Chain A
Amino acid sequence: MTKLKIPIRPVDQIMTEERAASFSKRSIKSQSKLVALKLAISMMDLTTLEGKDTPGKVEHLCRKAIQPAAPRYGVPSTAAVCVYPNLVPCAKRFTAGTGVKVAAVATAFPSGLMPLSIKLDDVRAAVGYGADEIDMVIDRGAFLAGEYNQVSDEIMAVKQACGAAHLKVILETGELGTLDRVRFASDLAMHAGADFIKTSTGKVSPAATMPVTLVMFEAIRDYFFETGVRIGMKPAGGIKTAKEALAYLVMLNEVLGADWMTPELFRFGASTLANDVLMQIAKLVDGPYQSSDYFSLP
């Protein structure tokens, strides 16, 4: 076991919430808005994580990810699709050659309350099926019980099992209770080898929020200053409208800056966000708002 040496960085909740709210006041209009909305699409991990997921559903999802809207809108593909391990083979098949990555949730998602050996098998299976990215969950039980070494060691082990696959570490911030813990979990995950840190599984409410994402941005920023390594960020769950997505991008722009404004380092984990963004894009291009019937379901 490695002994953790991560300094505790306190976070003030009220000022964090205040600054997070300030980003929603930015007004993004016309051409800037169009550029930002397309960027948002390119940063999406289009997600389906249901017990009833089938190859058919995944095919819908993959096609939507490859071509979110009619070609005349010039909308890019999404960054990835995100599925359970068993659906990885068909997701790989449907996205082959398109550049759209396949992410798999693993490590006894969504609770993470399984023996480490099972979690590692879960990861190896997903990687074996061809997953490009692994979205793991931390053991919140262990974290909240103060077993930080255990959490850190597990992340390191999962990172090793990932091989070449990128590792996103889900903190499930809705279960951590305070922004101080969000900050510490972020630091811990980055030091243990996360390529991305991610807010939520989408199975717990609240999922991603602006203040939580801001705190994670700040952790990423400080880690960059400390090590020179850029870690990615993925808010997931709860972001449903184009307006919210724009506020997240404004926050990204003003806290981490241009180097992070790429799908390499920022993702939206969402299932219903895409069509609201597409609706806004169509409105900007065509003029009138169109009914949701004009936008294909993922």
Chain B
Amino acid sequence: MNAKKRPAKSTDLHRNAVPHGGPIPAGSRHLKLGEGLAYAPAPESTPVKIRPAYGLFINGKWCDPGAGKSMATTNPANGKSLAKIAVADKSDVDRAVRAARTAYDSNWSKTSGSERGKYLYRIARLIQERSRELAVLESMDGGKPIKESRDIDLPLAAAHFFYYAGWADKLAYAVPGRTPAPLGVAGQIIPWNFPLLMAAWKLAPALACGNTCVLKPAESSSLTALHLAQILQEAELPDGVVNIVTGGPEAGAALVQHPGVDKIAFTGSTEVGKRIAASAAGTSKKVTLELGGKAANIVFDDAPITQAVEGIVSGIYFNQGHVCCAGSRLLVQESVADEVVERLRDRIRTLRVGDPLDKNTDVGAIHSTEQLARIKELVASGVDEGAVLHQPPCRLPAEGNWFAPGFFTGVTASHRIAREEIFGPVLSIMTFRTPDEAIERTNNTAFGLSAGIWTDKGSKIFKIASKLKAGVIWANTYNKFDPTSPFGGYKESGFGREGGLHGLLPYLKV
């Protein structure tokens, strides 16, 4: 073959070729991000068997609700019904609490710590074994990207069971000099944003400490908790130790008000949390509440800007912003504000919004039509109050609940979007001038769940962190979770801690 003959180059390979030329003038220095390579759809195969209907899981058995009521649970990415779930009423909750009490008295309270630990290890391993199925189910029922349910929700859920399994026979070391005892029956109400993970956060420490549980998942995201019930059966957890009742506010209220419940653990909205606190007042019930947040990410001018932008992105767009500790306020030092905003504007253009089951999706579906309406209402208030909304051009699917990720500039501390929890993929950006102002503005909120600090100076991190009224403070990172680390809030973000040694105490009499 003639060495000089060169095979034809396929022309589309060089469609973007731009030779070295003179400098691009200042106004035209734009990046064509994400436009150089098409990603074909990469759907996760769905190995999960969803039953047409689910009952209540009481005393180790599946049963129908007394009133026979059920409701559909839908896929927020397309609005289609996935299955029917039972709607529990007061009498069903009563049955569940009584089953938990019997299991506590006759069995679980007498089971040794090492034996309880064995069950928890078993559950953890089964979650790992079935993690693909559970991740797909979580994404279908909740709308979150498979990348997140696969890499974050599921590994963390298993990790919580593993971690608290280790504590089960070492409780005496958690409270030196005292003899810890379980409380009895724990009523646990969990939210829709991390359904399985929140079930793990609640069940693992409660069981490790020797309590029995009645768990009520959120009505719009019950499926993974119900599949967890299958895992509990497979792990041969004694009947009645964990009972799962699905349903709406009626079931939740019945659980909170039930006299047979010794402990209420609630994660959800501040509004409901206040009602629970009021209802438990004057009773012997122990309560822990993990509620809303309006966390600030503080970016100082000496921060690694590009990485700070990564933290801002994971802080607010992770799980569509449906995160109680989301970094929904950005406080950026005025001298670097323009650069941060420009980098963020570029960065969010590369976020891929769409099918939660596509492995390339970064931002999935908004969990429910109600939540979408709430996000839209608050975003509209921001625009009305004069803030400027920035959203990248992105095509959203025709069906289902979607909201393009975005951020507001021109926000002041008095805007509603700076004070109220949007619980969606929308960030409010404000500026500050000095560290003292940053501290003051960060703490100027009714909430106090989390905060982020971005600076290249280690000493500054410690100095600032000690002055922030927030339960979790991340430095040069955001939204990092670990079962060994306590999590919980100040002020309207609730009280009590979950995770770590601290997470044992709300489930123990010491």
Q: Does A38 contact B (CB under 8 A)?
A: yes
Interface residues of A in 21-69 (CB under 8 A from B): 25-33, 35-36, 38-39, 42, 63, 66-67
In the bound complex, CA of A261 to CA of B303 (Å): 30
Q: Does B14 contact A (CB under 8 A)?
A: yes
In contact, B9 and A32 (Cβ under 8 angstroms):
no
Q: Which residue of chain A has the shortest Cβ distance to B362 in the bound complex?
A: A22
In the bound complex, CA of A244 to CA of B410 (Å): 42
For B31, the chain A residues whose CB sits under 8 A away are 221, 224, 256-257, 259
Given contacts A38-B13, A39-B13, A76-B9, contact A261 B23 (CB under 8 A): no
Q: Does A75 contact B (CB under 8 A)?
A: yes
- Interface size counted on chain A using CB atoms at 8 A: 62
Q: Does A294 contact B (CB under 8 A)?
A: no
Q: Does B177 contact A (CB under 8 A)?
A: no
In contact, A254 and B33 (Cβ under 8 angstroms):
yes
Given contacts A35-B12, A66-B3, A218-B306, contact A262 B17 (CB under 8 A): yes
In contact, A254 and B34 (Cβ under 8 angstroms):
yes
Given contacts A12-B476, A32-B39, contact A94 B359 (CB under 8 A): no
Interface residues of A in 124-145 (CB under 8 A from B): none
Q: Does A260 contact B (CB under 8 A)?
A: yes
Given contacts A10-B304, A35-B13, A98-B4, contact A224 B29 (CB under 8 A): yes
In the bound complex, CA of A94 to CA of B6 (Å): 12
Contact with A along B36-48 (1 / 0, CB 8 A): 1111111000000
Given contacts A35-B38, A76-B7, A98-B3, contact A261 B16 (CB under 8 A): yes
Interface residues of A in 53-95 (CB under 8 A from B): 63, 66-67, 71, 74-77, 94
- List the one stretch of A103-111, A235-243, A245-253, A267-275 in contact with chain B: A245-253
In the bound complex, CA of A76 to CA of B7 (Å): 6
Q: Does A288 contact B (CB under 8 A)?
A: no
Within 8 Å by CB of A28, from B19, B20, B39, B306, lies B39
In contact, A10 and B24 (Cβ under 8 angstroms):
no
In contact, B40 and A228 (Cβ under 8 angstroms):
no
Q: Does B32 contact A (CB under 8 A)?
A: yes
In the bound complex, CA of A27 to CA of B36 (Å): 15
* Residue among A9, A15, A252 having the largest count of chain B Cβ atoms under 10 Å: A15
For A195, the chain B residues whose CB sits under 8 A away are 20
Q: Does A116 contact B (CB under 8 A)?
A: no
In contact, A96 and B310 (Cβ under 8 angstroms):
no
Given contacts A15-B304, A228-B24, A228-B25, contact A27 B359 (CB under 8 A): yes
Binding site for A on B (CB under 8 A): 1, 3-4, 6-10, 12-14, 16-20, 22-26, 28-29, 31-42, 147, 151, 302-308, 310-311, 350, 359-360, 456, 476-477
Beyond the given pairs A98-B4, A224-B29, A263-B14, 8 more chain A to chain B contacts, judged by CB atoms under 8 angstroms and listed by A's residue number, are A9-B304, A10-B456, A16-B307, A42-B9, A76-B10, A259-B36, A264-B17, A264-B19
9 tightest Cβ-Cβ pairs between the two chains A and B:
A228-B23, A27-B42, A258-B36, A261-B36, A15-B307, A258-B32, A12-B307, A228-B24, A257-B31
